Amino acid sequence: MRGPAVWAWGVCALVGIVFGVFSASAGFAQTAPADSVRRGDLLKKLQRDDTSQFESDVTAFDAAFRDSVLAALDSLGIDEFRKQNRRRPWRLGLSFDLATRLWDYNRSEGFVFGGGMTLEPLGIDGPWLQLQGAYASGSEKFRHYEGLSIPLAPHGYLTAQVHYEDRVVPYGGNRPTANSVRALIGAEDAQDYLRRRGGGAYLVSRPQRYVRVSAGYEASKQTNVPLTTKFALFGGDLPRINRPVREGIERAAVLGARVGDLESALWQVTVAHRIAGGALAGDFTFNRTDVDYAVRRYLARHELVLQGGWARTGGNVPEQAAADLGGVEMVRGFDRRTQVGTSELHARLEYLVPYDVFRAAKIPLLRRARLQLVPWADAGRTWGGTRESWLTSAGIGLQYFLGPFGRASFLRLDTSFPMGPDRPQDVRVDLRFAAGLF
């Protein structure tokens, strides 16, 4: 038995030596780990599989047209190429959408039918002129707005802006989004209005992505406007609006700054300061400082949004510039301008429930509605007014996503429970638009 065992060991040893030496010298150990693939194979497979899921119209690409226009551009240059295609360098755009400054509905002006245009005589990087005009069905007046923006430095670093307007504008701190829709449908006009005729000139700078600074001068004549319209699709006891303002000419220096961005940077602070009268003359002599802040934070999946503001006034402040509190955008559950004083402070905290509670609970009809729950709490008070007490309220909102339309991204039904001895009612329900933070 010894002979075969010796030979067996001998063969093993030779194999071991040969394998070991050869593998070391020939780089055999470059062999990849057992679960690896060749370089680039994964990417090719991913792209191949992905492309197969799209229809052929967008996966097959004929480069003939692209090559022809590129060749023409290379031979002619952009100026000659543009001439040959008979395109004008300036742009004219018409706008008849809801975003214009005049297209609106309120109980002072009724329907404000209008349109506008934007003119860019020197191309996209040059100055642009915005013209808007409209006819107000209630007051039977022609309203208009003209604005000119002149870039003084590239990339929006510095821009000069001038505007002139004759229109009816809201005043006060409560500014519900798309208030006109609420007024037209639900007769819930939650703003007061005055007529402003005048203009202003500003320098606006955006030195960084999340920084905007402006300084300017405004002069306008402010007058009361009567109520002319009662129409609403689903009317009721219409709330009284347009408390009288002090009429006169306002000349003011305005300073403003905004830092941060609530959507991207998760926080935002806006500061505005207004000095009227004094050396600037005019009928009003006052100053007002506003600081607004907004912060949002995630705690795991749970998003909390804190918003608030502080305002302080000094001098002989007209009613339309006083610090006020109350309304669906300030302290919910209380009417707008419940408190009016020389200064005010308010805060709102909302918790955006990330789970689809109704779907999880399998509640009939609601489980497919994609309704989001938003518990919230508001608080605020004024100083220097007739009533000085904290206004507090809490409640729960139910919101439905409409689309990425900025401050009107959600349709929100807020059920408010005002607190304290001054509460006007025990429960209040508001339908409004709410901003989306995406």
Task: Kindly tell me which residue out of 1, 4, 43, 364 binds another protein, with binding defined by CB under 8 A.
Answer: 43
CA distance 204 to 255: 10
Does 404 engage in binding with another protein (CB under 8 A)? yes
Pairing of strands 339-341, 323-325: antiparallel
Query: Which CB, 45 or 387, lies closer to another protein?
Result: 45
Q: Contact at 8 Å (CB) between 183 and 193? A: no
* Count of positions (residues) in the chain: 438
Residue 386 lies near another protein (rule: CB under 8 A): no
Of 302, 203, 290, 304, the closest CA to residue 262 belongs to 304
Q: Nearer Cβ to another protein, position 159 or 289?
A: 159
**Site for another protein contains 4 (CB under 8 A):** no
Residue type, 86: R
122 touching another protein, by CB under 8 A: no
Cα 407–129–263 angle (5° rounding)? 25
Nearer to another protein, 30 or 386 (CB): 30
Residues in binding contact with another protein, number by CB under 8 A: 84
354 interacts with another protein by CB under 8 A: yes
Q: Binding of another protein at residue 236 (CB under 8 A)? A: no
Of residues 54 through 83, those in contact with another protein by CB under 8 A are: 54-55, 57-59, 61-63, 65-66, 68-70, 72-74, 77-79, 81-82
Shortest spacing between CB 86 and another protein, in angstroms: 9
Closer to another protein by CB, 35 or 237: give it: 35
Q: How many CB atoms lie within 10 A of CB 28?
A: 11
Single-letter code of the amino acid located at 224: N
Kindly state the smallest distance separating residue 299's Cβ from another protein, in Å.
10
- Using CB under 8 A, which of the segments 242-250, 280-288, 352-360, 361-369 binds another protein? 352-360
What does the per-residue mask of binding to another protein show for 281-320, with x meaning CB under 8 A?
A: -----------------x-xx-x-----------------
Contact characters 126-165, another protein, x per CB under 8 A:
----------------------------xx----------
Rounded to the nearest 5 degrees, what angle is found at the Cα of 158, between the Cα atoms of 156 and 162? 105
Closest CA to 212 of 147, 157, 274, 154: 157
From the list 217-225, 334-342, 395-403, 418-426, the region that binds another protein by CB under 8 A is 395-403
Options 1, 29, 365, 429; binder of another protein; rule CB under 8 A: 29
Q: Which residues contact 241 (CB under 8 A, 6 or more apart)?
A: 107, 108, 189, 191, 192, 193, 227
Q: Does 85 bind another protein (CB under 8 A)?
A: yes
Token duo for residue 47 = 């792209």
> Half-sphere exposure (CA, 13 Å, Cβ side) for 126?
11
User: Is residue 208 a contact residue for another protein (CB under 8 A)?
Assistant: no
> Any idea which residue has 């004219």 for tokens?
92
Interaction of residue 90 with another protein, rule CB under 8 A: no
Alpha-carbon distance 411 to 392, whole Å?
23
Contacts for 62 with CB less than 8 Å, ≥ 6 apart = none
Interactions with another protein, residue window 245-274 (CB under 8 A): 264, 266
